[in-house]
Structure formats: structure tokens, C-alpha cells
């Protein structure tokens, strides 16, 4: 910048103007929001580059969305019957760690903490696996029980579809076949072949 003028870093001309526009940011379970960012646009060569202040604006907004995400995730897990104390015990976290993630605005959960709780929210049955000390046999049983519940749920929510399943065990694998088809249409709408590694 020379004498209050912004110089284009590409062509070196002082024909740069500052333009503002909005972008949308989002975080899983945290919703979305819009922020205004600035761009330096050179009318001489057409080169466009971000203003130096954009990173701070974006990171500040993403940090807020991450906190909202963590609070919503924990509220939803609590609503499912998982207390903060029980989650801390299952995951081997120090007492009140999750409570601090949720309630202390001055404490920003790490990226790994946010990722952990999002995974738990997406697959709540993983808490039962953790509570069983990640025992392989128990984990397999819990997974298959959850899969069975999901099949029952699909059938209840979509009575027009037929859900069939079968399983077979080989030496090292348990193969679960799931087929979803619409009763009035002979062709299969979707189907899957899920292979779970059997425990030795």
C-alpha cells in the first residue's frame, strides 16, 4: 500500500478496489451462518485476492459454530438418556470434562474432542461399545442389534417397502445381506451387501 492506495500484487498497479460479499459457513450439528469477507479486485488486470482480514473473520465465526455444534450434540445425547457422567466414564475422560465443553464459554474444545462427540452423536451405540471396554464380541453384538433395530424402523416408517435380510458366516467373516424393495415395483430400489469381519 502506497499513500493510502492498495497495490495489486500481480501487476503492481494501484487500480485496486475493495469489494465485500457474503459467504455461508457451516459446521455439522452446528447449523450455518453468513459472514462478510473482503476481496481486492484489480481493475487493470482483473486479479482478485482475499483481504488479510478474512481469515480472522472466518475462524471467529467457525469457532462459534463449533461451540454451538458441541452444545447441540451434548444436549441431544442427554435427551437420549446419556448423562455427562456416564459418557465420561465410558470414554475414560476426567470428571466434568464434558460439562466444561458444554458450559464454559472460555474453554474451546479441541478439534479431536469435537470430532469424538460428533461421531458419538452419529452412532450413539458406540457409547455402549465403549462402556464394554471395546470388547470385540460385545461390539459385534451391539452393532448387529442396532442394525436389526434400524431395519425394523425402516419397515415401520416405509410400509410400502419390503426389507429382507440374511446372514452367513465364513471362516473369517460374517456377511449380512440387506435388500430393500418396493412392493408394487418388482425391481429393487436399493440393496447392500455388508461384510463384518468376524472375530477370531
- 29, 60: one domain: yes
Residue among 39, 34, 27 nearest 70 (CA): 27
Average pLDDT of the chain, as a whole number:
85
For position 183, what pLDDT does the model report?
63
Domain stops at, among 80, 96, 128? 128
Q: Is the model's pLDDT at 170 over the cut of 60?
A: yes
Helices (H), 92-135: 97-103, 111-122, 126-131
Residue 46 lies in a domain: yes
Q: Which residues contact 54 (CB under 8 A, 6 or more apart)?
A: 37, 38
Given 104, 128, 152, which residue is the final one in a domain? 128
Range of the domain at 173: 132-197
Between 15 and 171, the more confident residue is: 15
In a domain, 7, yes or no: no
Q: Are residues 27 and 120 in the same domain?
A: yes
Q: What is the pTM of this model?
A: 0.74
The residues, any chain, with a CB within 8 Å of residue 76's CB and separated by 6 or more, are 29, 121
* pLDDT band for position 150 (cuts 50, 70, 90): confident
Per-residue pLDDT band for 5 (boundaries 50, 70, 90) equals: confident
Lowest mean pLDDT among 20-34, 126-140, 141-155: 141-155
Residues 6+ apart with CB under 8 A from 113: 70, 101
**DSSP reduced 3-state for 109:** coil
Q: What is the pLDDT of residues 49-107, one digit of tens each?
A: 999 999 999 999 999 999 999 999 999 999 999 999 999 999 999 999 999 998 877 67
Confidence band, pLDDT 50/70/90 cuts, at residue 157:
confident
Same domain flag for 111 and 137: no
What is the structure's pLDDT at 160? 78
Residue 74 maps to a domain: yes
Cell of 65: 459454530
Structural domains counted in the chain? 2
End residue of a domain, out of 79, 108, 128: 128
- Number of residues written out for the chain: 200
- 116 DSSP assignment: H
163 and 99 within one domain:
no
| Distance (Å) of CA 16 to CA 9, 27, 53, 54, 194 | 10, 33, 16, 17, 57
* Domain identity same for 31 and 116: yes
Q: Is residue 173 part of a domain?
A: yes
For the segment 116-139, the average pLDDT, to the nearest whole number, is 95
Residues 60 and 82 in one domain: yes
| Cβ atoms < 10 Å from Cβ of 114 | 21
Amino acid at each position: 500500500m502506497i499513500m493510502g492506495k492498495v497495490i495489486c500484487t500481480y501487476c503492481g498497479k494501484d487500480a485496486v478496489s475493495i469489494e465485500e460479499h457474503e459467504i455461508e459457513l457451516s459446521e455439522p450439528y452446528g447449523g450455518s451462518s453468513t459472514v462478510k469477507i473482503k476481496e481486492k479486485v484489480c481493475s487493470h488486470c482483473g486479479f482478485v485476492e482475499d483481504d488479510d482480514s478474512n481469515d480472522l473473520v472466518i475462524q471467529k465465526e467457525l469457532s462459534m459454530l463449533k461451540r454451538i455444534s458441541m452444545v447441540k450434540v451434548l444436549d441431544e445425547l442427554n435427551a437420549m438418556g446419556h448423562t455427562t457422567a456416564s459418557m465420561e466414564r465410558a470414554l475414560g475422560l476426567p470428571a466434568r470434562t464434558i460439562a466444561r465443553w458444554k458450559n464454559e464459554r472460555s474453554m474451546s474444545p479441541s478439534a479431536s474432542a469435537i470430532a469424538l462427540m460428533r461421531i458419538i452423536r452419529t452412532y450413539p451405540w458406540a457409547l455402549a461399545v465403549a462402556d464394554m471396554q471395546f470388547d470385540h464380541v460385545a461390539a459385534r453384538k451391539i452393532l448387529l442389534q442396532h442394525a436389526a433395530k434400524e431395519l425394523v424402523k425402516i419397515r415401520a416408517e416405509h410400509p410400502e417397502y419390503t426389507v429382507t435380510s440374511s446372514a452367513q458366516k465364513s471362516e473369517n467373516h460374517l456377511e449380512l445381506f440387506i435388500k430393500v424393495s418396493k412392493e408394487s415395483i418388482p425391481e429393487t430400489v436399493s440393496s447392500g451387501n455388508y461384510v463384518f469381519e468376524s472375530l477370531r
